Amino acid sequence: MAKDMTLLWGSGSPPCWRVQIALEEKNLQGYNQKLLSFEKGEHKSKEVLEINPRGQFPAFKHKNTIVNESCAICFYLENQFKSQGNQLIPEGAAEVGLMYQRIFEGQILGQKIADVVRYTKKVPEAERHDSAVKRNREALKQEIQTWDGYLKGSDGYLSGKSFSLADVIVYPVVAFFFRLGANESHYPNLAAYYNKLKVRPSIKKTWPQYWLEAPGQEQLKDL
C-alpha cells in the first residue's frame, strides 16, 4: 500500500510534518519520498508542479489520486486506512465535534504565528508600522493563551482522552511556536502538551531534521 504513495516535502515545514506523522500513525512506512529544498526553490520545480500545480509542499500522490493540502492528506489517509494503525477519529460525538473544531482553530493559530514571523518578509520596509507589529504580537499572545486554557485540566490531548487528527494537525504548529523561542513557563499547559507528545513514536521519528541540525530561533522570546 505505502509503496503506491509518493510524498515530496520540505524539512521544517509544519504542513509537511503533519503528513509524515499521519503516515506513521497509520503504519504506512515505506512510501516513496523525496526531501526537497525551499531555499533552492525546488517547490516550484517541474517535479512538484506535476503533482501540485500551486508549487507548494507537501505534494502527495497515492496511485492515481493526488491530494495536496496537508489537512486533506491527513483526512484522506485516515479515511482510506481506517482499520490500519491507530484510529485517529474518535467515536464519541462530543469528541468528534471537538476534534473538528480544534483542527479548524489550528489554522487560525498558524496564521497568527505567520503574521508575526513573516511580517518583515511580506511587508515592504516603507509600509511597515510599529503599531502593526505590536498588534500582531498581541493577537498571537491572546491566541496562545486561549490554547493554554483549552489544555488546562485536559487529558493531554486536544480532543478528549486519545490522540486524534487534531493532534496530528495542530502539534507541528505548537512545536513551531516553541521553536521560535516562546517561553514555556508563560504557557504551562501548552508546554506540557508539547513535551508530552514530543516523545510519541510517530512524532519523535519524524521530527524535522532541519530543526535538529539548526538552532532554534528567537523571534518570540519575549512573548
Mean pLDDT for each 10-residue chunk of the chain (223 residues)?
91 95 97 89 88 94 96 98 96 96 98 88 80 91 97 93 97 97 96 97 95 85 84
**What's the pLDDT score for residue 221?**
83
**What's the pLDDT score for residue 167?**
98
- Within the chain, residue ranges assigned H as helices are 14-25, 46-49, 70-80, 93-117, 119-122, 130-151, 165-179, 188-197, 201-206, 209-213
- Please choose, from the candidates 98, 10, 105, the residue with its C-alpha nearest in 3D space to the C-alpha of residue 52: 10
Give the Cβ contact number of residue 126 at 10 Å.
5
**Type of residue at 218:** E
**What's the pLDDT score for residue 38?**
79
Q: How far apart are CA 67 and CA 210, in angstroms?
A: 25
Dihedral sign, CA of 76, 81, 86, 87?
Answer: positive
- Please choose, from the candidates 112, 106, 103, the residue with its C-alpha nearest in 3D space to the C-alpha of residue 140: 112
**What's the pLDDT score for residue 219?**
83
**What's the pLDDT score for residue 2?**
86
Question: Residue 107: CB partners within 8 Å, gap ≥ 6?
Answer: 71
Q: Which domains does the chain have, with CATH numbers?
A: 2-81 (3.40.30.10), 93-213 (1.20.1050.10)
**What's the pLDDT score for residue 101?**
98
Classify strands 5-10 and 59-62 as parallel, antiparallel or unpaired: antiparallel
Give the Cβ contact number of residue 32 at 10 Å.
12
**What's the pLDDT score for residue 194?**
98
C-alpha cell at 57: 509542499
Residues 3 and 31: beta-carbon distance below 8 Å: yes
